[in-house]
Structure 1
Amino acid sequence: MAIRKKSNKNPPVLSHEFIVQNHADIVSCMAMIFLLGLMFEITAKAAVIFVTLQYNITIPATEEQSAETISLYHYGIKDLATIFFYMLVAIIIHAIIQEYVLDKINRKMHFSKTKHSKFNESGQLSAFYLFSCVWGTSILVSENYISDPTSLWRDYPHTLIPFQMKFFYILQLAYWFHAFPELYFQKTKKEDIFRQIVYIGLYLFHIAGAYLLNLTHLGLVLLVLHYFVEFLFHISRLFYFSDERYQKGFSLWAVLFVLGRLLTLILSVLTFGFGLARAENQQLNFSTGNFNILAVRISVLASICLAQAFMMWKFINFQLRRWREHSSSQPQSVKKKFVTAKGKTSRKERENGINGTVTSNGADSPRSRKDKSS
């Protein structure tokens, strides 16, 4: 991502620079068209498909619930229109965070080009992960998924889901779809595009898979678990950019990352290997949304295991790279400590570092002045 510099010369309309500089305004106008469409009777039926959730079913409430009726939702082809609209909203929010928060911090910190790109990436993702974790946790608590782990596979297929659950999945898909045009808007470097596409594709593949296969309960739990670990990594990287001596966050993240991968595998094996495998109805039925057959269970479980193995491989490479960087930053030889007769360090030793040793960040330490006699 490059720093945008304002110039007096306006780029030609619809040129590359014009679209990049004004993409938030262009997308805002597109979103306003759908909102204005709700105001007129002729266009309201078409606009409502983009703005509101579709495929709601009203059913009588049980004795335990206070309301007379409740609304549940299932998925369909119209969800693509809703995802498209909220993808536009995600682009607008992305631009607001970039301009009013991240760019202001970048101007004060004077980051290098590499740190500038990584800081913007971590800033955007940490905000999204925090929002998703808080929202996803509230859904888990309200639906009692945490207190009752058997709800992950009980009463499968979970074709009817509450409003909050469906809206959560719609926004998740919209956010990760918006990441593709952001590669163009943020002028992502060519060497980083493939890495970005890979992890965006992995998110979309697994979130869409959980949504379409009616595995929304398990998918929500795994997403909240994964997002919490990723939030800790990106917030630690933000603190590291402000102060490179900050390393505690990465150490805590490393422990939780391994535990997160282990817990993900345990929950997946319990759901597909024990819960769904012992269900009575194990026949493929597209009309009822039942995909609980052996081939699907093995495919989904294998996909989750491969994703966890891929992340562990990336994690090990990251830790090895950090270890090499830490080793290379250490001085090749440690200077001997010279102590004066009174047991105090000399003036030259105090200038070089603490207790006569040279600091690892030599570029940031002040240079010692030469004596006039030399």
Structure 2
Amino acid sequence: MAIRKKSNKNPPVLSHEFIVQNHADIVSCMAMIFLLGLMFEFTAKAAVIFVTLQYNVTIPATDVQSAETISLYHYGIKDLATIFFYMLVAIIIHAIIQEYTVKSKLLHILQHINNNELSFQKINRKMHFSKTKHSKFNESGQLSAFYLFSCVWGTSILVSENYISDPTSLWRDYPHTLIPFQMKFFYILQLAYWFHAFPELYFQKTKKEDIFRQIVYIGLYLFHIAGAYLLKLTHLGLVLLVLHYFVEFLFHISRLFYFSDERYQKGFSLWAVLFVLARLLTLILSVLTFGFGLARAEDQQLNFSTGNFNILAVRISVLASICMAQAFMMWKFINFQLRRWREHSSSQPQSVKKKFVTAKGKTSRKERENGINGTVTSNGADSPRSRKDKSS
């Protein structure tokens, strides 16, 4: 159970502030109800649906030429209960990371602060975090932890199932109705994590102007992950998720270092190159899977009982969805880079002028208050932009 910070104010029970301050404890109690249900026989059958994976199929040893039986899984309506339980777990872990790892440990490491008793408020004042920058720092902290965990776990599945050494496994033997335990658990946790992001908009007091952008961002993840899971495209979905998550992890970890030192730009340069390469590789793998592999399959009839969705209309729809998502991300990326370039270009003449004035010893009082040698520090930046100087 997550321990919340002590507050001098005690908001009324079940009020807005009470729920926000104690949401991790409330959700922890809800999760404990399901775990306690496993201890009693008359509730175990219902509780096990929430805690463990459902729809397992045991394959005898004679079928797989092995000395041990293998348990594989498919999906069904009971998966919604499992997703709900692990959504509660994701909310708890999110609160723990935010309260202890992001706010205390990461700031402690990035700034090399050796005083273990230094409070977060003192660290925040030392870092000169604005409210917007503080929110972005928390976001990057928990997302970088999630992306790193998902990348390592997803890569281990790819290696163990030989998907990397054999690219034809992306479409061979489609539909991939039966999947191993690790594969199904991976998708369940991915869906649970992105579903948990909706209540987090309330718990984190997201600004009204940012809610729509966040909903679109979360919805795109849920749409593509659920689509890969329901359409039996788990192999391709896993490869594309690991590829995308790695690039996103690099961006958020670079942004964390940027918050500690705004001169840090190397991570963003590497991210920009890998971002473009990831988009191209995603399109190549998608076109190969739908335009080459599945298009040449013998069985191309829609069959819900066997889970075969390999028909022309579905292939075109899925491929178009992937292409539109990549185009949308590239459009956002290009706009971001153009904005950076404009701000860098507009700040250069002012920087040269201020340095010239400083060299003559005519630095104004306002410049001395805002920075050193006439350079204004940017406290509200949430991206690797060049710092803009304030003109009088």
Task: Encode CA deviations 1:180-224: one digit per residue, 9 max, x unaligned.
Answer: 000000001111111110010000000000000000000000000
Instruction: Percent identity, please.
Output: 97
Q: Structure 1's 61 and 199: CA in aligned 2 closer, same or farther, altered over 3 A? A: farther
Task: Encode CA deviations 1:224-264: one digit per residue, 9 max, x unaligned.
Answer: 00000010111111111110111111111010000000000
Query: Partners in 2 of 1:368 and 1:46 — Cα distance?
Result: 56
Query: Partners in 2 of 1:45 and 1:276 — Cα distance?
Result: 40
* 1:37–1:44 Cα contact (<8 Å) kept: yes
Q: Which residue of 1 aligns with 2:216?
A: 198
Q: Structure 1's 182 and 35: CA in aligned 2 closer, same or farther, altered over 3 A? A: same
* 2:133–2:380 Cα contact (<8 Å) kept: no
* 1:267 aligns with one of 285, 301, 312: 285
**1:8 Cα deviation after fit:** 2.0
Task: Encode CA deviations 1:263-319: one digit per residue, 9 max, x unaligned.
Answer: 000000000000000000000000000000000000000000000000001101111
Query: Partners in 1 of 2:362 and 2:238 — Cα distance?
Result: 62
* 2:301–2:311 Cα contact (<8 Å) kept: yes
**1:345 Cα deviation after fit:** 17
Task: Using the TM superposition, name which of 184-193 and 71-80 deviates more.
Answer: 184-193
Task: Encode CA deviations 1:127-181: one digit per residue, 9 max, x unaligned.
Answer: 0000000000000000000000000000000000000000000000000000000
Q: Structure 1's 33 and 352: CA in aligned 2 closer, same or farther, altered over 3 A? A: closer
Query: Partners in 2 of 1:170 and 1:250 — Cα distance?
Result: 31
Q: Matches of residues 1-150 of structure 1 in structure 2 within 5 Å?
A: 7-61=7-61, 66-100=66-100, 106=124, 109-150=127-168
* 2:383 aligns with one of 352, 365, 371: 365
Query: Partners in 2 of 1:339 and 1:301 — Cα distance?
Result: 57
Q: Structure 1's 360 and 330: CA in aligned 2 closer, same or farther, altered over 3 A? A: farther
Query: Partners in 2 of 1:358 and 1:187 — Cα distance?
Result: 30
Query: Partners in 2 of 1:184 and 1:80 — Cα distance?
Result: 22
Query: Partners in 1 of 2:140 and 2:21 — Cα distance?
Result: 21
Query: Partners in 2 of 1:372 and 1:90 — Cα distance?
Result: 42
Q: Which residue of 2 aligns with 1:249?
A: 267
* TM-score with structure 2 setting the length: 0.83
**1:321 Cα deviation after fit:** 1.6
* 1:349–1:355 Cα contact (<8 Å) kept: yes
Q: Structure 1's 308 and 341: CA in aligned 2 closer, same or farther, altered over 3 A? A: closer
Q: Structure 1's 354 and 61: CA in aligned 2 closer, same or farther, altered over 3 A? A: same
**1:331 Cα deviation after fit:** 3.5
Query: Partners in 1 of 2:377 and 2:22 — Cα distance?
Result: 46
* 1:87–1:174 Cα contact (<8 Å) kept: yes
* 1:337–1:356 Cα contact (<8 Å) kept: yes
Q: Structure 1's 141 and 336: CA in aligned 2 closer, same or farther, altered over 3 A? A: closer
**1:344 Cα deviation after fit:** 20
Task: Using the TM superposition, name which of 354-363 and 126-135 deviates more.
Answer: 354-363
**1:323 Cα deviation after fit:** 1.4
Q: Structure 1's 176 and 61: CA in aligned 2 closer, same or farther, altered over 3 A? A: same
* 1:125–1:234 Cα contact (<8 Å) kept: yes
Q: Structure 1's 112 and 357: CA in aligned 2 closer, same or farther, altered over 3 A? A: closer
**1:325 Cα deviation after fit:** 2.4
Q: Structure 1's 357 and 273: CA in aligned 2 closer, same or farther, altered over 3 A? A: closer
* 1:284–1:291 Cα contact (<8 Å) kept: yes
Q: Structure 1's 118 and 335: CA in aligned 2 closer, same or farther, altered over 3 A? A: closer
For the residue of structure 1 that corresponds to 2:64, the secondary structure is coil
Query: Partners in 2 of 1:315 and 1:369 — Cα distance?
Result: 20
* 1:2–1:187 Cα contact (<8 Å) kept: no
Superposition RMSD on alpha carbons, in Å? 5.9
Query: Partners in 1 of 2:323 and 2:391 — Cα distance?
Result: 70
Q: Structure 1's 93 and 267: CA in aligned 2 closer, same or farther, altered over 3 A? A: same
**1:362 Cα deviation after fit:** 16
Task: Encode CA deviations 1:74-106: one digit per residue, 9 max, x unaligned.
Answer: 000000000000000000000000111x98964
For the residue of structure 1 that corresponds to 2:351, the secondary structure is coil
Give the number of the structure whose alpha-carbon radius of gyration is greater: 1
Task: Using the TM superposition, name which of 163-172 and 246-255 deviates more.
Answer: 246-255
Q: Structure 1's 350 and 37: CA in aligned 2 closer, same or farther, altered over 3 A? A: closer
Query: Partners in 2 of 1:246 and 1:151 — Cα distance?
Result: 41
